[in-house]
Structure formats: structure tokens, C-alpha cells
Amino acid sequence: MRDLRRQTTSRLWLVGIGVLAGAGALGWKLYDLQVIQASTLQNRAAAQRERTIAADRPRAGIFDRRGVALALDQPIYDLYVHPFLIDAEARDRAIRQAAKVKTKGIDRQALATRLTSQNRQELYTQMASTLAATSGKPTAQIAQLLSQPKRTVAIARGLSETAHDQLLAAKLPGLEFNTRRRRYYPDGLNSAAVIGFINYDGQGQGGVEQYYHKKLSAKAASYPVTMGPLGLPLAASLPAEALADPQPGRLVLTIDSRVQRAARIALDRGVKANRVSRGTAIVLEPQSGEILALAVSPSFDNNHYGQFAPSTYKNWAASDLYEPGSTFKPINVALALSAGAIRPDTTIYDSGSLSFGRYTISNYDHKGRGSLDVTHVLMFSDNIGMIRLMQHMQPGFYYDRLREIGIGHSSGIDLPGETRGIITNRTQFVKYPVQMATVAFGQGVALTPLQLARLHGAIANGGTAITPHIVRDFEDEDGKVLWKPELPASKPIFTPEAAAQVRQMMLHVVEEGTGKPARIPGYRIGGKTGTAQKANIGGRGYLAGKKITSFVGYLPALAPRYVVLVVLDEPKSENAFGSTTAAPIVREICQDLISYGNLAPSHPQELHPGAGSAAKKR
């Protein structure tokens, strides 16, 4: 008995010593944590709560010259549901419901359990129906997603702001939204070739989205914040600038979306009617160089660019070279007049053909027209006449003047991928007369449609070379101009007298010559047709049976406000010439310009041809 008592006492001592040792160790640990390591742990805890978050900054919008939105950043939302939060809401409701039951002797815990199951089913049914209506997914699919044994379920991606607001208003439990931004193009197909698009990596592709990517992109910003217990930033810790509505500014284009739409529709119609591989239409203000419209066909919808062939993304009016043919003849005439090599009344003899060694050049109809002045050379689009006129200049001088007006250079257009024009080297040009002869009627020289439009802009504005451009300025949200593109200084390339004389000649082309299909009663349009063999760019010679047709128009003819150029690549319709394919498209675009620009008719009597004679009879 005494031994048992002694063993018990020993065990109690051991337990007591163990307890004291444990308490001592615990006390020491508390002392270590609260005193010795206090500063270190406080810093570590603060570091875990402190985060640096990147600010969500929208990309600047793109607007036309009248303030019409062409590209905007829109918030979109990815929707997630946390089923455990739905279960928690079902339990909370059940507890509140059970607490209201006054019946004596009822097991409120069991009641709450039954109500929880009932509430959960009701919530899931309600949520499946509501989420299906806003996400576009079937109710059964939503219900199946919610029933998965997951902590978080992805329901939908890319919900609109309207759908987001509707779901918030429904006050459903367990919802989480991840906000992203999507580029939206209200004008879509009409201006895609000018605007370009944003790819999945947020990089501008084509158009001004690419060329002005840095200007459009918001500057990166980040802010220190304190995270709350749910892992979300505490609003009180956010600086004022992080809570402020970001103001990205806007890039304002020279484009008029009305003119752009009109040009695109007219071009598409002409491309279809003439079975054309591709076409482009350009509307230029010759005084300023501002591009009002730049359409290509076929094009693409930049809201859904992945559904279109990548070849449609290219704005070939800036990137692709072609030999302009007869639309280059007015440029040559203006050059020769400005140099004093010819006068408007200079007369040449058209024999119908000319030989240069083993090469023979003839008119398109192989006919000779005898004695012609400069106006009639343009009216008949006479190749031999143009060669004879350009022969009034020495080849070296002619070549140097071509280079001075910009042949072989770029136009300076603010679009990506512009290709420099091509002309043979000076030695070849001077040595081989056939080189000079072909350039005289617009072959043997290659340039982009925009480069040709620039040269015609100089004739239209009195002789000054301007830089065609797409962007007018960058503004803040209040319309204050923050930046304007620096354009190269304008320089005269033709004399004002020569430019005026060529405009008069181009009026005759439309009134009496090959450009008659572009006539509009009551108005006077100057213009020039073009039908050229399609050069094998990068190779030699020309592609058999293929041609490029075009027409350039000035509206009004003698004091132009607009230069309109249409180029059609490989028309397959019968009797395909610039006069039959491109001129009607220019005419249609000019009719819209007359309306949008409120141009008064210069010959109103043509609008009511019987009015004058009727008045005389009375």
C-alpha cells in the first residue's frame, strides 16, 4: 500500500514537472513572439497585408472629325460563382427562419437543417434562371455548373456592362466579377482598314491602332494598398487618383465617317459589278492633306477580325505599288508646263505609234490622231501625244524633276507599312529612250494610290505638295488639344499657273473626253481616266491579260475642295476601262460629297433643263 502511494506521488510530481515545463516553454514562446520578435513579425504581417496593384487604365478612344466614335474601350466582365457562399446564404436564411418559429418543443436545429436544404434548392433554381438569361447559356447548363463540387465555378466570359448591372441588381449570393476591357469599333466594316484592331495581347494591328499604339496606350500606373481579410483591397487604403475615373483622352482623325461610309458602299458596289479582285477609294482635301475617306474592298469587321482572312487586314492603298497609267498623265503635263518646256497651245503630231529600238509603243486603240494640242492629248488619253510632249525636256532634266516631285519616295501617310515608289535609276532613264517614253504615259513608274493622290492634291491646290494624313490631333475629354502631328513643311512642286491650266484641261476630259461617265448635272468635275497593264511588281514585264483601271476626280473642277481617286485591281467585266469601271464610282462618291459639303451647283439650269424655255414661253 505504501509502495502504491509512493508511485502515485512520483507520477504526480512528474506530471507537475511536465506541466510546469510546458507552461514555461509556452511562456517563453509567447515572450519570444511578443517581445523579442515583435518588430520582425509586425513587419512581416504588414508586408502580407500590403500589396501593389496595377491600375486598370483604358486605351484612348478614336473619333472622326465630327466627334463620332470609331474605337472605344468597353468594360467586360467574366462571371464566377462560389457555391459555398450560396450554401452559407441558405444556412443564414434558415437560421433566421427557424428563429421566428414560436411553436414550443420544436427542434430548431433540425428545422434549420431542413430549411437550409430547401433554401439552397430555391437559390440554385433562381440563380440558374437569372444567370441563363444574362449569360445566354441554357438554364440546365448553368444548373449543372452550379452543382459541381467546386469552390469556384466559371459561368461566363465577356459579359456586357448591361448584363453586369442586371446581375448586381438581382443581389444574388456568391457572385464574383473579373473586370477586363474590350476594344469596340462602332463603325466596324466601314473604317476597319483605317482603324485597324487590337489583338489578344493588346497590341495594335494595322491602321492607326498600330501606327499610334503608344499614343493610344494609357501609361502604366500602380498603387500601394492594404488587403482585407477576404483578400480584397480596402477602399480606405486606395489613393484618390486610383479611385478617380480615368480620363484616357481621344485621338481625333481627319476621317469623316459619313464620307467613309459613302466611299465604302460605292466601292463595294463597283467591285462587285466589275468582278474586281480588290479596289480602293480615297477622298482627299487638297488644301490640308486631310484624308476624309480611305476605303478598301474587300475589307473586314475589326470587331470580329478572326473571322476574316488576314489578307483583308492590309490597307493596300498605302502598302502596294502599281503603275498608274493615264491618271499619271496630268502629273507629267503639270511638270512640263511648270518647267516651261510646253505651253497649253503646244501642238504635237500623233502618228499612232513610235518605235524605240525593238520596242514599239502605240495608242490603246492603235489609231493616230494627227495634230493635237495639250488639252486634246489628255482628252483622248493619247500615249503618243504624251511621249511627244515629254520629249520637249531632256531625259536627265525630266528624271530630276520626277524625283523632286516625290517619285520614288513615300507620301508620309501616318499608316503602317507604306512602300516607297519605284522608278529606274537615272543612268538607265537617260541611256534608254524607251524608259522616258513609258513613264510619259504612266507606265515604267510605280507608286501607291496614296502617293498618286498626293500629286493630284498638288495640282488641285495650286501646285503645293502636301502630306496626306489620317490624324488631326489628340485631345483631352474636354476637347483641349494636347498634341498635333508634326507634318513636313509644304513645298511648291508645280507653278500655280500650270496647276490651273491642268485643272482646266481635266474639266474638258470630263465634259468632252473619256471622263464623261463622271459628269453630274449642275456641277463641273475635272478628271482623268486610267487603264494600265498590270506590272509584275518584283519581276519583269506585265501580267498577261490583267490590268488596273482607275479614275481621279476634282470637285469642283476649277477650285477643288476634294480629290477623289478610285483604283480597281483586275476588273473582269467586259469593256473594262477606267471610264467604264472607276469613273462611275467617283461620280457616286462626288454626289455624296455635294450633299455633305453643301456644294451649290455652278450650273443650276442643268438641274431643271426645261425651266428656262418654259419661262420664255410665258
What mean pLDDT comes out for the span 319-347? 97
Cell numbers given for 291: 484624308
Q: How far apart are CA 108 and CA 98, in angstroms?
A: 6
pLDDT given at position 157: 87
pLDDT given at position 293: 98
Q: Is 237:225 a contact under the CB 8 Å cutoff? A: yes
Please give the DSSP secondary-structure letter assigned to residue 447: B
pLDDT bin (cut points 50, 70, 90) of residue 179 is: confident
pLDDT bin (cut points 50, 70, 90) of residue 131 is: confident
Q: How far apart are CA 143 and CA 321, in angstroms?
A: 58
pLDDT given at position 94: 67
Residue 472 scores a pLDDT above 70: yes
Q: Does residue 378 or residue 55 have the better pLDDT?
A: 378
pLDDT given at position 618: 35
Q: How far apart are CA 591 and CA 586, in angstroms?
A: 9
Q: Is 244:75 a contact under the CB 8 Å cutoff? A: no
Q: How far apart are CA 515 and CA 426, in angstroms?
A: 34
Model-level pTM?
0.82
Q: How many helices (H) and strands (E) would you count in the chain?
A: 22, 24
Query: Per residue in 517-555, pLDDT tens?
Result: 999 999 999 999 999 988 886 667 788 889 999 999 999
Residue 309 scores a pLDDT above 90: yes
pLDDT given at position 90: 67
pLDDT given at position 543: 85
pLDDT given at position 515: 95
Mean pLDDT of all residues belonging to the chain: 87
- Give phi and psi for 290, each to the nearest 5: -70, 135
CA 140 to each of CA 38, 127, 136, 207, 484: distance values in angstroms, whole numbers, following the listed order: 55, 11, 12, 44, 55
Q: How far apart are CA 537 and CA 518, in angstroms?
A: 30
Q: Is 562:537 a contact under the CB 8 Å cutoff? A: no
Phi-psi region of 246 (alpha: psi -120 to 50; beta: other; left: phi over 0): beta
Q: Which of 140, 125, 130 is nearest to 170 (CA)?
A: 130
Residue 233 scores a pLDDT above 60: no
State the pairing for strand pair 562-569/471-475.
unpaired
H helices of 107-237, where?
108-135, 139-146, 161-170, 192-195, 207-211, 213-216
Those residues with Cβ within 8 angstroms of residue 242's Cβ, 6 or more apart along the chain or in another chain: 55, 221, 223, 225
pLDDT given at position 227: 66
Residue 241 scores a pLDDT above 60: no
Q: Give the type of residue at 277.
A: S
Cell numbers given for 474: 489628340
Residue 17 scores a pLDDT above 90: no
pLDDT bin (cut points 50, 70, 90) of residue 260 is: very high
Those residues with Cβ within 8 angstroms of residue 551's Cβ, 6 or more apart along the chain or in another chain: 327, 515, 518, 527, 528, 529, 530, 565, 566, 578, 579, 582, 583, 585, 586
Q: Does residue 156 or residue 67 have the better pLDDT?
A: 67
Q: Which of the residue ranges 165-179, 181-195, 394-408, 540-554 would you say has the lowest mean pLDDT?
A: 165-179
- Residue 519 sits at the vertex; the CA angle it makes with 513 and 520, to the nearest 5 degrees, is 165
Cell numbers given for 148: 459541381
pLDDT given at position 225: 60
pLDDT given at position 570: 93
Residue 195 scores a pLDDT above 90: yes
Q: How far apart are CA 497 and CA 342, in angstroms?
A: 13
Share of the chain above pLDDT 70, in %: 83
Q: Which of the residue ranges 67-71, 110-114, 405-409 would you say has the lowest mean pLDDT?
A: 110-114
What mean pLDDT comes out for the span 600-613? 78
pLDDT given at position 596: 94
pLDDT given at position 129: 83
Q: Which residue has the cell 502599281?
A: 322
pLDDT given at position 135: 78
What mean pLDDT comes out for the span 403-414? 96
pLDDT given at position 372: 97
Those residues with Cβ within 8 angstroms of residue 402's Cβ, 6 or more apart along the chain or in another chain: 335, 408, 423, 439, 445
Q: How far apart are CA 167 and CA 156, in angstroms?
A: 12
What is the 3 state secondary structure string of 238-304? CCHHHHCCCCCCEEEECCCHHHHHHHHHHHHHHHHHCCCCEEEEEEECCCCCEEEEEEEECCCCHHH
Q: Which of the residue ranges 25-29, 223-227, 554-558 would you say has the lowest mean pLDDT?
A: 223-227
Share of the chain above pLDDT 90, in %: 60
Q: Does residue 248 or residue 321 have the better pLDDT?
A: 321
Q: How far apart are CA 120 and CA 100, in angstroms?
A: 19
pLDDT given at position 197: 95
Count CA atoms closer than 13 A to 491's CA, side-chain side.
6
Q: Does residue 470 or residue 131 have the better pLDDT?
A: 470
pLDDT given at position 403: 98
Beta bridge partners of 227: 233
Residue 39 scores a pLDDT above 50: yes
Q: Which of the residue ranges 29-33, 170-174, 314-318, 584-588 would you say has the lowest mean pLDDT?
A: 29-33
Q: Does residue 177 or residue 246 have the better pLDDT?
A: 177
CA 453 to each of CA 292, 469, 471, 527: distance values in angstroms, whole numbers, following the listed order: 12, 12, 17, 12
Q: How many residues would you count in the chain?
A: 618
H helices of 67-107, where?
83-99
pLDDT given at position 598: 94
- Give phi and psi for 451, each to the nearest 5: -65, -35
Query: Per residue in 437-464, pLDDT tens?
Result: 999 999 999 999 999 999 999 999 999 9
pLDDT given at position 84: 77
Q: From start to end of 400-508, where are the E strands?
A: 422-423, 445-446, 464-465, 471-475, 481-483, 491-492
Neighbour-count burial of 312, counting CB atoms closer than 10 A to its CB (0-12 exposed, 13-18 middle, 19+ buried) = middle
What mean pLDDT comes out for the span 146-158? 80
Q: Does residue 131 or residue 320 have the better pLDDT?
A: 320
Q: Is 569:278 a contact under the CB 8 Å cutoff? A: yes
Domains and CATH numbers, the chain: 83-173 (no CATH), 257-606 (3.40.710.10)
Query: Per residue in 46-104, pLDDT tens?
Result: 566 666 555 567 899 999 999 999 999 988 899 888 877 777 776 777 677 767 776 66
Q: How far apart are CA 563 and CA 585, in angstroms?
A: 13
